[in-house]
Amino acid sequence: MEMRPGDKAPNPAAHDLPPPPPDVQRTPPDPKWPSGILSVIVHQINNLERQNLKGTTGENREGQAGQDTDEPSEEGSNLPSAYCEIVVNDDLVYKTRVKQYSSMPFFEAGTEVFVRNWNTAVVRVVVRDSRRILREGSEVTRLYSIQEGVGFGRANISLLFRSVKLELPRPALGWDTATVEISKPLSLNIQDKSKAGWLTKGTNVVVSTTDSTDQISKAEVAVDSATGKLTWEFDQLRLPVYTRYASSVYFEFGTGRLFDRKPDAIAVLWLKDVPDDEETTIDVPVVVGKDLKQLRQNVLDDFAKKTHDYQVIGTLKVQIRVDAGLDMDHEKNAKSQARRHAFEAYDHIEGEAQVAEKLSHAGDDGVIDKQERKAIKAAHDRQLENRQRGVAGYKPYRTMKWIKQGIKGRISPEKPAKRERE
């Protein structure tokens, strides 16, 4: 057979080649494989400017976030020095470099992160937005209006999701950042009463995660010495946690002595076994041993029995729910810059609205008491500060607040978020 110039050479092995990859712009992620690698890239921001609290620099802005100004300018005293933070499932995962004094900063920077379930994943780019995407394809590049802050502009951002053939169990499809809810009643059944001398008098319970601790008072326990059962009735406990899949919630019994704070017994429940947003009742073994501090760092299974000295004396029945994502309970734990910035993004987009919804029912009983008035004023002051109004509109106040945060960061430093490579 004669070959002419421009003819394609025959390839007998062509039918053995793998099929071409799908067009990610037209093919949504496969629902069979919800886990995968998510790529987020910030390209550039157009017409970026800081909000001028004494007026606006555009003639036809009319208060609309992201509306184009008349002419983008690279001159002026109000030019921002912008950078972007990428928050995935309420975890700050990436921070770009700062682009000094520019109304049209180009970043072309981003990161890749493993997500357990793209259907429930939430991406926030601070400059801020939050919406459902990837409905019609696995990749999207779009302009997003900057909102919920003190600036204006439009950010050009790309997101790409690639599935991996990995079937994770349902409890492993959740978020790393969450709140652990412990509901009443909490029931303890003791089988070996000889190892529980504190049984007849009752005991307080210290409930802890890696990030927070709470306590159920001894006054809230009902003791049935005949059957060896203790039952605690209490208000719901909410314990913030940031590294949920590497954390446990552990219960310490018999820690009420004055000089000896070591517990008499513990129960350990690993959060990797609890699904998101579903109340579950779990029986957790209660154990005693020589080194309970070390024991609570382990999964108490058959292998642990071979390597650690402990005895199971009873069972603790726990009603638990893992509330995925940040909420107002995390504010006191947001001490590092990464956690603080992630919480600020949540607070602007969801937190303030939830607080406002709760306070809107303050007068449902016909009376707004002193505590409710105080909560309403605190929410109002918080919104003013988040938008740099009121006292936060003065630069000396913001400077002193920044210095205070810097001092706290040096006293208790934490590992910084991943940054753009040099």
Tens-digit pLDDT profile for residues 198-232: 666 778 899 999 888 999 888 888 888 778 888 99
CA pair distance 137, 37, nearest whole angstrom: 15
Instruction: Tell me the sheet residues that pair with 267.
Output: 251, 286
CA pair distance 276, 406, nearest whole angstrom: 35
pLDDT digits 0-9 by tens, 279-318: 999 999 999 888 888 888 888 888 888 888 888 888 999 9
For 216, the token pair is: 């159920």
Query: How many C-beta neighbours within 10 Å does residue 319 have?
Result: 16
Tell me the backbone φ, ψ of residue 51, rounded to 5 degrees: -65, 130
DSSP per-residue codes, 352-377 = HHHHHHHHTTTTTTS---HHHHHHHH
Note the pLDDT of residue 323: 92
Q: How confident is the model at residue 63 (pLDDT cuts 50, 70, 90)?
A: very low
Of 39-53, 182-196, 262-276, 403-417, which gets the smallest average pLDDT? 403-417
CA pair distance 401, 404, nearest whole angstrom: 5
CA distances from 42 to 8, 127, 289, 304 (A): 40, 10, 53, 47
Reduce the DSSP state of residue 414 to 3 states and report it: coil
For 407, the token pair is: 């001092």
pLDDT digits 0-9 by tens, 374-384: 878 877 777 77
pLDDT digits 0-9 by tens, 322-363: 999 998 888 888 878 788 888 888 888 887 777 777 777 777
Which distant-in-sequence residues (6+ apart) come within 8 Å of 310 by Cβ? Answer: 287, 288, 289, 290, 292, 295, 300, 304
pLDDT digits 0-9 by tens, 72-123: 556 666 678 888 999 999 999 999 998 888 888 899 999 999 999 999 999 9
CA pair distance 217, 209, nearest whole angstrom: 18
- Which of the two residues, 234 and 355, has the higher pLDDT score? 234
Task: Taking residues 237-256, report their average pLDDT.
Answer: 88
CA pair distance 384, 116, nearest whole angstrom: 36
Task: Taking residues 193-199, report their average pLDDT.
Answer: 68
pLDDT digits 0-9 by tens, 119-166: 999 998 987 434 567 777 888 898 888 877 767 788 899 999 999 988
- Which of the two residues, 421 and 313, has the higher pLDDT score? 313
Q: Cis peptide leading into 185, omega within 30 of 0? A: yes
Reduce the DSSP state of residue 152 to 3 states and report it: strand
> DSSP secondary-structure letter at 417?
P
Q: Which amino acid is at 165?
A: K
User: Quick check: 417 pLDDT over 70?
Assistant: no
